Amino acid sequence: MPQDDPLRITLVGAGTIGLSFVALHFRYAVSLKALRLELTIHDSRPDIEEYILKTLPVYTKADITERTDVTGCFDVTLPDDRGLTRSNALIIDRDLESAVSKADIIQEQGPENAAFKTALWPKVEKHCPPGALLWSSTSGISASIQSTHMKDRSRLIVAHPWNPPLVMPLIEVVPSPYTSEKVISRTMKFWKGIGKVPVFLQQETTGFVGNRLAFALLREAIHLVNEGVASVEDIDSVMQNSLGPRWAISGPFKSYQAGGGEGGIEAFFKNIGGTVQACWEDAGKVNMGEGWEKNIYNQTNEAYGVVDTRGRDAKLLKVLDAAGHEVEESED
């Protein structure tokens, strides 16, 4: 595209994840000085304008002023790293056809059900420019399923963020078997370019990678609470005081490579492979609906009540900074 054209991103769905992306895109548009951004939000809620004007400033320090010349169009003004302010355009468009008609990127985070998504993409495909990138933020409905009714299934790819996307570096990039190489490489390039860490998955798999790993650990955690070995708070304390900080700077394989000394991970397994196998054989196999839920919910509610996510995110930024990530400054 020519230099003077803005980058046009259309977000379909502006819930918690969507608004965090809105904030992310505006922040990066300001930090990447060559870029002008025109960000369109398409969302079915009737009070969408009011909601965004009220909620977006919670995510990022932006001045939002309505343009007098165009209805539903706003100037979003943020300071860059030298403290100079720059404005980019925010458009709220209830009509899907016009919302996607000029977009370079269409990023979907609508309701997490297959019917919504499989119905959406053929409409998007019909009205968007032929080169537009089509991304779903889904945490579990594969591009294979979502693209079922599309004419050109090669265009769709999953770009699964971690909550909150404004803070968390990871984007899981998951193609369907139909997704084109060009869509994959352009998607990876975009996310790297705005400072995220896109991880490309070779295959679609239930729950992708991060959630599968988390849920495997969660299953064992529930089992240990269930068996009375440790409380909900004790399990969390174990994580916060050992594995969490360790994995924040080196994942499990790198950790065990270090744990094995000069012999690396092979020496690690040689030394304690027996204990590893014994733990695997003894591992819990709880399932949903088996009755452990009430105890877990009660203990968790008693321990934490409603979690202060603003405070958590501020801390998260500090941890990411300490772990060596380049992070935007905290708002606090």
Q: Which of residues 44-63 bind a copy of itself (CB under 8 A)?
A: none
Nearer to a copy of itself, 11 or 171 (CB): 171
Q: By CB under 8 A, is residue 328 in contact with a copy of itself?
A: no
The most distant pair of C-alpha atoms in the chain lies apart, rounded to whole Å, by 72
Interface of this chain with a copy of itself, residues 8 to 27, rule: CB under 8 A:
16
Provide, rounded to whole angstroms, the least separation between the CB of residue 20 and a copy of itself.
13
Annotation says 38 is catalytic: no
DSSP 63-92: EEEE-SSSTTEEEEEEE-TTS-EEEEEEEE
Q: Which residues pair with 78 in a beta bridge?
A: 86
Amino acid present at 326: E
CB 235 within 8 A of CB 223: no
Stretch that binds a copy of itself, among 4-12, 25-33, 92-100, 194-202 (CB under 8 A): 194-202
Q: By CB under 8 A, is residue 192 in contact with a copy of itself?
A: no
Residue 308 Cα distances to 21, 216, 305, 313, 314, angstroms: 20, 26, 9, 9, 10
What whole-number distance in Å separates Cα of residue 253 and Cα of residue 259? Answer: 10
Q: Considering only residues 5, 63, 97, 266, which one is a binding residue for a copy of itself as defined by CB under 8 A?
A: 266
Residue 76 Cα distances to 4, 41, 287, angstroms: 19, 13, 47
Number of residues that bind a copy of itself (CB under 8 A): 108
Q: By CB under 8 A, is residue 276 in contact with a copy of itself?
A: yes
Interface of this chain with a copy of itself, residues 117 to 156, rule: CB under 8 A:
139-140
Helices 293-304 and 210-226: crossing angle in degrees, nearest 10, is 100
Q: By CB under 8 A, is residue 277 in contact with a copy of itself?
A: yes
Provide, rounded to whole angstroms, the least separation between the CB of residue 332 and a copy of itself.
14
Interface of this chain with a copy of itself, residues 222 to 261, rule: CB under 8 A:
224, 227-230, 232-254, 256-259, 261
Q: By CB under 8 A, is residue 184 in contact with a copy of itself?
A: no
Provide, rounded to whole angstroms, the least separation between the CB of residue 1 and a copy of itself.
30
In the structure encoding, which two tokens stand for residue 117, read together? 């998504």
Residue 267 Cα distances to 171, 257, 263, 275, 300, angstroms: 33, 8, 5, 14, 38
Interface of this chain with a copy of itself, residues 304 to 323, rule: CB under 8 A:
304, 306-307, 309, 312, 315-316, 318-323
Q: Which residues are catalytic?
A: 172
